Structure 1
Amino acid sequence: MKATIYHNPNCGTSRKTLEILRNGGAEVRVIEYLKTPPSREELMRLYERGGITPREGLRAKEALARELGLTDPDVADGAILDAMMEHPILIQRPLVETEKGVKLCRPQDEVRELL
């Protein structure tokens, strides 16, 4: 099975998710999204495939999200996506895609549904 993980190596949950994928026998493509962020179109495709809204994909605990006012419930999805494109740190991780679908794997055991 092939899997793609949008990964931050400094994140423990992301590292554990990657380990589960590898131990599960997946052929893993690792994208360090802070270095190589997905395009807006790719991120929208992933979210749509996973049934995830941009708000759900927002790393709301990130101080920058609050500073930019993105945690306000009235902020439109488009504005959240724009902020994610400008500041990839705002993309919640780890985001994993396999032939079975797309999931935000928090907690990391969520990834097992994709194996």
Structure 2
Amino acid sequence: MDVTIYHNPACGTSRNTLDLIRHAGSEPTIIEYLETPPTREQLATMIANAGLTIRQAIREKGTPYAELGLDNPDLTDDQLLDAMLKDPILINRPFVITPMGTRLARPSEAVLDILPAHAFNGPFTKEDGERVLDDEGKRIV
């Protein structure tokens, strides 16, 4: 399966998502978006395809969000996209694109919605010890 992840290796959620993709038997195209940010068109398309607003795709924690005044409700989507492209740390992560859809994988198990369920064989546990898949590879709710 063709899978692309916009990844930050310093982020536990992003690492867990990458591990889940690999657990499904796919080796994704990995784009470290802090080094290689998406284009404006790619970013806007990912956000729209994930069913999010531009505001929902902005990362606040650990970013200059507040210092840049991005919490101002009068800012337009274009202004918010400009800020995200200027400073990619503002792009929430990880975005994952597969033929089954696009997701902002927060939490990481959101990626399961766009991976084939039959691809999982056996359990999966996140870095923090939380079990996501049971011994049969079925999602734990």
TM-score (norm 2): 0.78
Contact 2:93 2:105 in 1 (8 A): yes
CA RMSD of aligned residues (A): 1.0
1:99 paired residue number = 99
Q: Equivalent pairs: percent with the same residue?
A: 50
1:3 paired residue number = 3
Higher helix fraction: Structure 1 or Structure 2? Answer: 1
* Structure 1 residues 62-111: Cα deviation after superposition (integer angstroms, max 9, x where no partner): 34011111122222111110001100000000010101111110110100
1: CA distance, partners of 2:13 / 2:35:
18
- Structure 1 residue runs of 4+, over 6 Å off? none
Higher gyration radius (CA): 2
2: CA distance, partners of 1:11 / 1:63:
13
For structure 1, list consecutive stretches of 5 or more residues without a partner in the other structure.
Answer: none
2:126 paired residue number = none
Which deviates the most, 52-61 or 71-80? 71-80
Shift of 1:37: 0.3
Give the counterpart letter for 1:42 in structure 2. Q
Q: Which has the higher contact order (CA 8 A, sep 6+)?
A: 1
For structure 2, list consecutive stretches of 5 or more residues without a partner in the other structure.
Answer: 116-141
